[in-house]
Structure 1
């Protein structure tokens, strides 16, 4: 017998699938639910109880998941749970919506609207205006909207009802809201419709006829990861996209262009997946909606595009150009970000099987196969530049080689304070930096005499957050020796007395060539160097700082001169022989003294040559061994070609790592900029402690994409779990909207809003 083909899920055009077996159709006549192509529920337009009954029963019989049913009916899963509970407890009668009471006259009189618009024109936030005129922030938004009715005592008309899910969380057919004065009805958007069809462009890209696909946005509600749109104004300030266009130009023709690849990589990093492999853990359709595409690029595409960019060898140029743009701006205090630069080395350990040179890791406390990097941070501790160091390179040499690059980035002859730790201690380097127009800020290394207590006095400094700190310090001038020729270099020394574990105290000393800064500010800036260490720790946890984004390697330069490890071993033998000689000398002196001292009652003592030789035999043997060890040490060359010491040694590919560093630095600086905006432009009470956490929460939140108005792209975010967080992000949205940032690759200006929590459904 011929098998009967399976029935379609829906038999009507335009049906919305709810899972794999159910479809929903809603139009002007009402709604219908099909189960495996069979009509199971139907209701007329306005028949709210039956509609709710159908949704509840579909969940009861497990025809589809609760999430799919809730999304299809335009409600929250919690609302669906309430409907099922009420139906089970009291039957269909419990699903009849409560009758809404009459509303009073609107407070938005013509005079009040004019007052609100005037305050907004002066730059007041929605919250400030609402408090001043005694209305809600949503009434302020109504007054400022283009369609606000300025007639005294009238209401703003609601948008015409449609049968798609609304953006304020209410049911499309119910039309109910859970609070008075919910504000104007927004344009209703379909819940997660299909993205714009890009099949034609993909076919053209496969044929090599498309340079790249431009972003195109479909109207959609409840879009996951819609909060990532908030990052775009801050991302623009990092210079990643603009500098990439200048350095790389464009990628080879294909569906995904340069801006899409970089923007998607930053979005993924902000969403918690900084590596290319993270694309497997992010819904490509959800991220694609934020990028204006049908789906985001997958792992193999990201790796291929990144490899193409790295193959140009211009990743270092990109970082330098981004650093120049970053340092030519100003921080939130209006100060110069390049006034202080912090430099530090970072060891990125390698765990693979390739033969990579070993480097001592301060964090791990033992030598490991690794790649060394030199990082530069601005006055606020934000990373601005990273360069790859040669294996085994010291921070002193890296600093000396980095100065011309820093001068090019800064772009003028102003003196810049460069802070670093004791790893860069070198009076010769200090003298060289001062001659090149850079001031030094570092800790003094080695032992030195304590400063007399009479030189100490109380100093203070007030930081950018208004917090004042005080220290007891001495401000003196010192001279540090340069080399072994007796030359000295004059520097300023700031000394402090600190407590040590177990009791007592000791003095620590800061050296600088800047004579104009107050002593308190010098201490503050030296302590602020830990911001760079904090970035390393944060980036290891959240931005995969030490990950290996490329596993390729090349042979190291076999002719490169490197320290001879045999020289160090021979020197250790010299030290051991010297210690044995010193001990033998002390023992011999004691033995000779005992032999020469006569016993009581003895007038003289006779020591024969044989006895003398026996006493001094160990000393002579130790002296001979010391001379032999010194001679062997002198014969060993201090440096040798790498090929003679470690044949076959390799170095990891660096261009891909530098490129990923640029992307993740942009992501970190983007999040930091948004956190700073939360602290300075919102009334969030705990912004000083929770700004970064609030930003991470907002960036991964859902919302609506509304491209209905030409020239604009409106992003309407869903409320956050708490009212205070929602209010803070609402103020942030106002501030970001004022920047008039364009979505990359389009002419649409971004506008940000957040939905009214009071308008969320309560049934």
Structure 2
């Protein structure tokens, strides 16, 4: 069967809670494609890099249908209707919370550190009026929606919340992320525990920097933070730094670090600095009272694990794909920055930049007059007059813009905006649902990659590549209804060492005793290169 190698990931998908969707969602029993079939189709599409339902037109429906246990996969319109039936139930967040309790039911160690960051999803359409945001990867200001992602200490996705307008990361943490975490076993709701041990530690960049906010997280929720310090102007004595070994992204790293107490905004924090070979000092602050400074530095500099996650999902899972067309309205009482006020403010900022550049040319001429020969003084005075005339013009324009800006309030409610430009948002529920399914798929793919890794000489470079090769590879499906088994025999991969790795994974998968969803058939995994996996 074409692409039947994806079934090698089915045990991991089930282990990650794929079928817990049935605890949350439902579809009419008279439908030919039930909930299990739809969820399996969506997850196999994500793993097979089929990035939208329209691409199913280029696939063999009968071949893919046998992979989900039916005669064919849903047709494009049918699948979109199923997605709409699921999204209309508005239960994506409930499913995400259920999965969080499943993922961290036994071991909270990976969940004790959470990386939080925003991802800008660019909008190229014309129906929605979205706020303009700065897109760092393109160095442009574009219409976009912000998704705020939470990943655990190993980089695995935990949850995602959708911003509505131009919320800062600080607002998203307090308004969206913490309340949702309190609905799971990650955080205790209500009064925080009194002991000096944090429930969780948030790690993020300078976007959410504010000392009062850090202290509030600790006092209100007993959540510690680790982040970079802003506006560092002093330097510590280089003799106070000690060489320490720590781990950054599972790799041993030696760095020179030092810790001191520091006061910011009236609050006391632990500050850790790393001294680079060039003499630069990178400052980190934390509210965690007991964590070792080597681990603090390792966790902070390991923040790139979340950036790597974003990069991988954008490239392989079509992370930014719009799932459902349409817009939704936002609470009309919600306050936003007045677009007119912002526009004038931006003009004023650019004018002041021009004025400062002109002043940098004008003021040194006074000193130049005293130093130059008398014959050159008239030319300098003439140039001074030219610059002064331009500065007076800039000063007049600045005063006009300041007076014009006073006519507009800095913030207004959405209902005060004109109908044509009033902000709204894209449909979010379908994106939330598909993102949850992609979380499950990414976790399943990572789990199989970790099983393959010990069998590869260059595990870091090859483990995910081999998993993708298994997913895309053909396999024979051999059902045995007498012995109640379903044998999945993977065809040969591109290199003997990859076949050996796949053979070892098949042995481990057979120990899971996985039952194919909707049947009583026990799955047996095998490879054509090696046929003794079952034992």
TM-score > 0.5, shorter chain as reference: yes
| Aligned ranges 1:355-370 → 2 under 5 Å | 355-357=128-130, 358-370=132-144
Aligned to 2:209: 425
Aligned to 1:196: none
Contact in 1 for aligned 2:485/2:524 (Cα 8 Å): yes
Aligned to 1:231: 9
Contact in 2 for aligned 1:476/1:493 (Cα 8 Å): yes
For residues 456 and 343 of structure 2, what CA distance do their matches in structure 1 show? 61
Aligned to 1:408: 183
Q: Say which one has the larger Rg.
A: 1
Contact in 1 for aligned 2:232/2:283 (Cα 8 Å): no
- The CA deviation at 1:326 is 2.0
For residues 725 and 625 of structure 1, what CA distance do their matches in structure 2 show? 69
Contact in 1 for aligned 2:337/2:411 (Cα 8 Å): yes
Aligned to 2:302: 528
- The CA deviation at 1:700 is 2.4
SS at 1:263's partner residue?
A: helix
CA distance 1:574–1:283, shift in 2 (3 Å): closer
In the alignment, is residue 494 of structure 1 matched against residue 272 of structure 2?
A: yes
Cα deviations by residue, 1:438-494 (Å, 9 ceiling, x for unpaired): 1101111223311221221111124685x421101111221111xxxxxx1211111
State the structure with bigger RCO (CA 8 A, min sep 6), 1 or 2.
Answer: 2
Aligned to 1:660: 434
Cα deviations by residue, 1:194-232 (Å, 9 ceiling, x for unpaired): xxxxxxxxxxxxxxxxxxxxxxxxxxxxx3323222111
In the alignment, is residue 445 of structure 1 matched against residue 445 of structure 2?
A: no
Contact in 1 for aligned 2:262/2:270 (Cα 8 Å): yes
Cα deviations by residue, 1:594-629 (Å, 9 ceiling, x for unpaired): 9xxxxxxxxxxxxxxxxxxxxx99999998887776
In the alignment, is residue 517 of structure 1 matched against residue 294 of structure 2?
A: no
Contact in 2 for aligned 1:477/1:491 (Cα 8 Å): yes
Aligned to 2:520: 747
CA distance 1:253–1:490, shift in 2 (3 Å): farther
In the alignment, is residue 351 of structure 1 matched against residue 124 of structure 2?
A: yes
In the alignment, is residue 728 of structure 1 matched against residue 501 of structure 2?
A: yes
In the alignment, is residue 642 of structure 1 matched against residue 414 of structure 2?
A: yes
| Aligned ranges 1:520-669 → 2 under 5 Å | 520-571=294-345, 576=351, 632-648=404-420, 649=422, 650-669=424-443
RMSD: 3.2
CA distance 1:304–1:620, shift in 2 (3 Å): closer
Contact in 2 for aligned 1:458/1:471 (Cα 8 Å): yes
For residues 620 and 369 of structure 1, what CA distance do their matches in structure 2 show? 37
For residues 421 and 311 of structure 1, what CA distance do their matches in structure 2 show? 35
Contact in 2 for aligned 1:550/1:653 (Cα 8 Å): yes
For residues 687 and 748 of structure 1, what CA distance do their matches in structure 2 show? 33
Cα deviations by residue, 1:298-353 (Å, 9 ceiling, x for unpaired): 211110000110011112221222223223354xxxx7220111111111111112
| Aligned ranges 1:140-539 → 2 under 5 Å | 223-242=1-20, 244-251=21-28, 253-330=30-107, 336-357=109-130, 358-401=132-175, 402-409=177-184, 410-412=186-188, 415-435=199-219, 436-462=221-247, 467-481=251-265, 488-498=266-276, 505-539=279-313
- The CA deviation at 1:288 is 1.1
CA distance 1:624–1:367, shift in 2 (3 Å): closer
Cα deviations by residue, 1:236-273 (Å, 9 ceiling, x for unpaired): 1221321x111113445310010110111111221121
Contact in 2 for aligned 1:581/1:622 (Cα 8 Å): no
For residues 733 and 292 of structure 1, what CA distance do their matches in structure 2 show? 20
- The CA deviation at 1:274 is 3.1
Name stretches of at least 5 consecutive residues in structure 1 with no aligned partner.
1-222, 482-487, 595-615
SS at 2:129's partner residue?
A: coil
SS at 1:384's partner residue?
A: strand
Cα deviations by residue, 1:40-84 (Å, 9 ceiling, x for unpaired): xxxxxxxxxxxxxxxxxxxxxxxxxxxxxxxxxxxxxxxxxxxxx
SS at 1:470's partner residue?
A: strand
| Aligned ranges 1:23-42 → 2 under 5 Å | none
Aligned to 1:71: none
Contact in 2 for aligned 1:563/1:638 (Cα 8 Å): yes
CA distance 1:446–1:464, shift in 2 (3 Å): closer
- The CA deviation at 1:518 is 2.1
CA distance 1:225–1:640, shift in 2 (3 Å): same
| Aligned ranges 1:663-702 → 2 under 5 Å | 663-680=437-454, 683-701=455-473, 702=475
For residues 333 and 11 of structure 2, what CA distance do their matches in structure 1 show? 48
For residues 531 and 346 of structure 2, what CA distance do their matches in structure 1 show? 76
Aligned to 1:12: none
SS at 2:24's partner residue?
A: helix
For residues 505 and 462 of structure 1, what CA distance do their matches in structure 2 show? 22
Aligned to 2:372: none
Contact in 1 for aligned 2:456/2:462 (Cα 8 Å): no
- The CA deviation at 1:684 is 2.9
Aligned to 1:201: none
Contact in 2 for aligned 1:715/1:752 (Cα 8 Å): yes
SS at 1:248's partner residue?
A: coil
Cα deviations by residue, 1:554-613 (Å, 9 ceiling, x for unpaired): 34444432111333455456665799699899989999xx9xxxxxxxxxxxxxxxxxxx
SS at 2:254's partner residue?
A: strand
Aligned to 2:378: none
Contact in 1 for aligned 2:248/2:302 (Cα 8 Å): no
CA distance 1:584–1:371, shift in 2 (3 Å): closer
Aligned to 2:479: 706
Contact in 2 for aligned 1:475/1:494 (Cα 8 Å): yes
For residues 209 and 446 of structure 2, what CA distance do their matches in structure 1 show? 31
Contact in 2 for aligned 1:356/1:370 (Cα 8 Å): no
For residues 577 and 689 of structure 1, what CA distance do their matches in structure 2 show? 50
SS at 1:454's partner residue?
A: helix
- What is the TM-score when the length of structure 2 is the normalising length? 0.84
Q: How many pairs does the alignment contain?
A: 498
For residues 675 and 251 of structure 1, what CA distance do their matches in structure 2 show? 36
Aligned to 1:193: none
- What is the TM-score when the length of structure 1 is the normalising length? 0.60
CA distance 1:739–1:577, shift in 2 (3 Å): closer
